[in-house]
């Protein structure tokens, strides 16, 4: 499908959001934030802490507030620049909720029921299968379409959700005239998925996994080194990326993505190393890299006035764009403005 409308200039617009249900990990940095940093130099980027998505699970209010501020501060500490990108908290822009309701009325029950993640999350949270969890993909579509995003950086597990956003945009455009950009996905070709250090066939997640297999961006050096020391490898000795060596392959991916070299170059660098020395070398490099981010994070998180200003200015910029889209939508469906 081709885009039926476009943003107001030749610069492509990007929307990306991360959910503050847990601490950010090295997997989030490699799979999402690194790409966000690259895109902000060439695109018009809208980056959001999507806290409205977080309440589909049971989360303590104080923890949600802390996680949201931590995520915002880490965005900034990693290099996301509020002078280059629009950085905001999702719930500060009421248009997300309004557009979600409207899009609900253009979403068929059949296509909503087909969402794989709803079925998976329902199995994980059998005591809290709420309507919000079912409606999550429509809110995600509203997030994207509200800002007329041309591109959405996503993982393969979000591909079905993006397709729903594309279908809703096309359906609305066909019924009322061109209104929404039909977005395309941006997929990382390398380093898109980082796995648990203890279970190298399972994706490294923010929540739910054994924390011993997760490198959080705010882990101290001792914890990082301990986790790398205990990470699962195999019974061989060769440091090569192979499907039969998921643990070693995972470490090579982490190292190559953080250092900005190819996996082949990383293999050459560690040729002849023992597994123990290899794990410690990767741990040292990762802890040194994260140390720089952590230093900046601790400076930012203490500066409440700066964080307030980023949130305020980001919400104002986001709402200006969101209002324009929602105003068009309301007029076209017949609401009195």
The residues annotated as belonging to the active site are 121, 203, 206
How far apart are the C-alpha atoms of 39 and 230, rounded to whole Å? Answer: 35
**Which residue, among 161, 168, 102, has the nearest Cα to 133 in the 3D structure?**
161
User: Which residues touch 69 (CB under 8 Å, ≥6 apart)?
Assistant: 301, 307
User: Which residues touch 199 (CB under 8 Å, ≥6 apart)?
Assistant: 209, 210, 213, 232
3-state secondary structure of 38: helix
- The pair of structure tokens assigned to 129 is 């299968």
Answer yes or no: are the C-beta atoms of 52 and 58 closer than 8 Å. Answer: no
Q: Residue 285: how many CA atoms within 13 Å on its side-chain side? A: 16
Q: Return the bridge partners of 102, or none.
A: none
User: Which residues touch 291 (CB under 8 Å, ≥6 apart)?
Assistant: 221
Q: Residue 250: how many CA atoms within 13 Å on its side-chain side? A: 28
- The pair of structure tokens assigned to 123 is 């199995």
Answer yes or no: are the C-beta atoms of 198 and 6 closer than 8 Å. Answer: no
How far apart are the C-alpha atoms of 112 and 28, rounded to whole Å? Answer: 27
How far apart are the C-alpha atoms of 17 and 116, rounded to whole Å? Answer: 20
How far apart are the C-alpha atoms of 175 and 178, rounded to whole Å? Answer: 9
- The pair of structure tokens assigned to 275 is 């597994």
Phi-psi region of 334 (alpha: psi -120 to 50; beta: other; left: phi over 0): left
3-state secondary structure of 198: coil
Q: Return the bridge partners of 194, or none.
A: none
């Amino acid at each position: 499908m081709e885009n039926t409308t476009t943003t107001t200039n030749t610069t492509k617009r990007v929307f990306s959001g991360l959910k503050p249900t847990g601490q950010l990990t090295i997997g989030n940095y490699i799979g999402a934030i690194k790409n966000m940093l690259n895109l902000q130099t060439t695109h018009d980027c809208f980056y959001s802490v999507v806290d409205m998505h977080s309440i589909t699970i049971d989360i303590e209010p104080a923890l949600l507030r802390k996680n949201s501020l931590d995520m915002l501060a880490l965005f900034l500490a990693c290099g996301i620049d509020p002078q280059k990108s629009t950085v905001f908290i999702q719930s500060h822009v009421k248009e997300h909720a309004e557009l979600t309701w409207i899009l609900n009325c253009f979403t068929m029950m059949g296509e909503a029921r087909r969402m794989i993640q709803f079925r998976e999350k329902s199995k994980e949270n059998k005591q809290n299968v709420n309507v919000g969890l079912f409606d999550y993909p429509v809110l995600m579509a509203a997030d994207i379409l509200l800002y007329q995003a041309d591109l959405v950086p996503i993982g393969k597990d979000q591909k079905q959700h993006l397709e729903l956003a594309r279908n809703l945009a096309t359906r609305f455009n066909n019924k009322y005239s061109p209104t929404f950009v039909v977005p395309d996905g941006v997929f990382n070709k390398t380093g898109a998925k980082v796995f648990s250090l203890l279970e190298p066939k399972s994706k490294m997640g923010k929540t739910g996994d054994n924390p011993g297999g997760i490198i959080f961006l705010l882990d101290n050096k001792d914890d990082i080194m301990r986790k790398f020391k205990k990470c699962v490898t195999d019974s061989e000795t060769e440091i090569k990326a192979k499907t039969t060596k998921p643990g070693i392959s995972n470490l090579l991916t982490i190292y190559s993505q953080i250092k900005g070299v190819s996996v082949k170059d990383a293999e050459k660098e560690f040729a002849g190393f023992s597994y123990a020395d290899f794990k410690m070398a990767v741990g040292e490099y990762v802890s040194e890299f994260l140390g720089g981010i952590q230093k900046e994070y601790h400076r930012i998180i203490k500066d409440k006035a700066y964080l307030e200003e980023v949130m305020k200015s980001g919400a104002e910029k986001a709402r200006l764009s969101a209002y324009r889209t929602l105003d068009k939508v309301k007029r076209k469906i017949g609401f009195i403005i």
